[in-house]
Amino acid sequence: MKYKHWVGMIMIMLISFLCSCSYRKIMINDVVDMAEFAMDRFENEYDDIELLEQAAPANLVNLEALLANDPKNYRMLVFLSKVYFSYAYALGEVEWESALFQIQKNKVNGKCPSLRDTEELRLRVSRHYSKGIYYALKAMAVNHPDCDESLQNVNTAADFIKSLGKGDVPALFWYGMNLSAYININQDSVKAVSKLNLAIKAMDQVLKLDPTYYYGCAHLTLMTVYSSIPVMLGGNPERSQYHYQEQKKITGDDFLLVDLHYARYYLYQKQDLAEYHRVLNRIIQQSRQNTGRYMLFNQIAANRAAIYLDAADRLFN
């Protein structure tokens, strides 16, 4: 009788624990629902980058704390990968590029400031992109436990990526976004550049499975990749132009980030200074009537366009 009593108590405790676990998972999915909805509105209806800068660090900590209660929550893992990318791209990378171009300008003026602060900024941005890669891989591992091992092996990586289906697109996309951005700011690293083919294959597979995912930005990423590196390392201006046109078909002329990357990478490689000025000035002018979709994206584009215009004398021969 006493034995039955303890068995009953253990069963009640187990049921309560399982219910609480189930409740926590439901709660986390509800949080992701709200966070995704809020992020979509913020990207398209607001242009307050300072608010993003103030809110992002605390929100990242809170999201990671929630993930600890359900570490294999695919949607939360994908969302964290997205947020780390967004934070690094919208804030950290802008600060790093601005500082880098300013140092180059000072050198032209005969000053020799230390590069230490700029290097620290680059490393910080790299860490954020690395976290984005980490969470995207964790998300892929939910359905493909061998994904990390498969991607690390040059003999299996391509086949693994090709085996992924439409349900894998979110994780694969943010993996490719974070990885390509990481490579872009670490082009002096052989180890980083050696992963370029993975980023390209990831985005090619996204385009095959769902070409309009996240505003079709797999095209924007490939446009940037093919125009930001020398031809001998895999650059391809013709492919870059193709992806620029395909991105335009999806988002039209109102999505200014694609024009920003077109000017900064494609027109820079072409050394077309006149068109570079025209495109960047149009971005700034158009962003002032920023009342439609893509408001946050377009404000980011305008801020960076101003930096690139100021740096034209250092980018063009």
The 3 state secondary structure assigned to the chain is CHHHHHHHHHHHHHHHHHHHHHHHHHHHHHHHHHHHHHHHHHHHHCCCHHHHHHHHHHHHHHHHHHHCCCCCCHHHHHHHHHHHHHHHHHHHHHHHHHHHHHHHHHHHCCCCCCCHHHHHHHHHHHHHHHHHHHHHHHHHHHHCCCHHHHHHCCCCHHHHHHHCCHHHHHHHHHHHHHHHHHHHCCCCCHHHHCCHHHHHHHHHHHHHHCCCHHHHHHHHHHHHHHHHCCHHHCCCHHHHHHHHHHHHHHHHHHCHHHHHHHHHHHHHHHCCHHHHHHHHHHHHHHHCCCCCCCHHHHHHHHHHHHHHHHCHHHHCC
Calculate the alpha carbon distances from 215 to 46, 56, 72, 89, 136 in Å: 17, 22, 27, 16, 19
Cα torsion at 161, 166, 170, 172 (round to 10°)? 0
Q: What is the pLDDT of residue 151?
A: 95
pTM here is: 0.87
- The torsion angles phi and psi of 101, rounded to 5 degrees, stand at -65, -35
Q: What is the pLDDT of residue 2?
A: 44
The mean-pLDDT minimum among 8-17, 35-44, 97-106 falls in 8-17
Q: What is the pLDDT of residue 77?
A: 96
pLDDT tier at 23 (50, 70, 90 boundaries)?
low
Q: What is the pLDDT of residue 46?
A: 64
Q: Which of 150-154, 230-234, 273-277 has the highest mean pLDDT?
A: 273-277
Q: What is the pLDDT of residue 102?
A: 80
The answer on pLDDT for 1 being more than 70 is no
Q: What is the pLDDT of residue 59?
A: 76
Q: What is the pLDDT of residue 21?
A: 56
Whether residue 132 contacts residue 178, with contact meaning beta carbons closer than 8 Å, is answered with yes
- Cα separation, 157 vs 71, in Å, equals 25
